[in-house]
Amino acid sequence: MRTAVADEAARDGVRVWTVPNALSFLRLLGVPLFLWLVLGPQADGWALAVLAASGVTDYLDGYLARRLHQTSRLGEVLDPVADRLYILAVVIGLALRSVVPWWFAVVLPLRDLLLWGLVPLLRTRGYSALPVHFLGKAATFNLLYAFPLLLLGDGTSAAATLAKVFGWAFAGWGIGLYWWAGILYAYQVYKLLKTTERRAAVHG
């Protein structure tokens, strides 16, 4: 059985191999690299470089997709998937290093787990996903600023303390916006179920 991403790729045809999609694939490759750097040699400087590269490519893939007219359904799928995998990898890595408490590593993936549970409901109305809400992007922006600051705050110097303070400030906003966006998404699903007729299941 083909995966959902493979199905999207087939429908996009020649738009699979675009510059924005290549950047998204590179971002995905950075996820295991970040975990290895943080948990293996604990090369925090290189880990921060991977996070910075992820942030830059996150901006560039959207910008280039619009600038070069290379938007694709596959790109719309890859971008949020890469964001969520980075968030999952970073919170697990930081929790295993005791940089952040375990509740922090649970509360973010829990929101995504609950939303994934809504996907079968969306499919009954002929949708695989809803458009990414700007609050979700704002939440990701705050979290991607928080993570490197929290990693830099893993120390006892004055600079580390300052980084930790700002890191938790960004993290607090990020968690709040992340869950707020999730609640709005769930409400959108609820309205869609109320106003759209169920579609017959497609087999094959």
Q: What is the CATH number of the domain that holds 157?
A: 1.20.120.1760
Does some domain include residue 203?
no
The whole-angstrom separation of Cα 26 and Cα 14 is 19
Q: What is the pLDDT of residues 12-69, one digit of tens each?
A: 444 667 777 788 888 888 889 999 999 999 888 899 898 888 878 877 777 777 777 7
**Domain region containing 48:** 4-195
Maximum Cα–Cα distance across the chain: 62
Does some domain include residue 201?
no
Does some domain include residue 204?
no
Q: Is the pLDDT of residue 118 over 70?
A: yes
Count of the separate structural domains present in the chain: 1
pLDDT band at 8 (very low <50, low <70, confident <90, very high): very low
pLDDT band at 82 (very low <50, low <70, confident <90, very high): confident
Does some domain include residue 50?
yes
The pTM for the full model equals 0.73
Does some domain include residue 81?
yes
Residue whose entry in the numeric block shows the structure tokens 């943080």? 38
Structure tokens at 163: 């980084």
The whole-angstrom separation of Cα 31 and Cα 39 is 12
Q: Is the pLDDT of residue 88 over 60?
A: yes
Q: Which of 72-81, 98-107, 155-164, 182-191 has the lowest mean pLDDT?
A: 72-81
Q: Is the pLDDT of residue 77 over 80?
A: no
Residue whose entry in the numeric block shows the structure tokens 């094959």? 204
Does some domain include residue 202?
no
Distance of CA 147 to the CA centre of its chain: 13
Of 26, 27, 24, nearest in space to 15 by CA: 24
pLDDT of residue 179: 93
Does some domain include residue 200?
no
Of residues 14 and 94, more confidently modeled: 94
Mean per-residue pLDDT of the chain:
81
pLDDT of residue 66: 76
Does some domain include residue 120?
yes
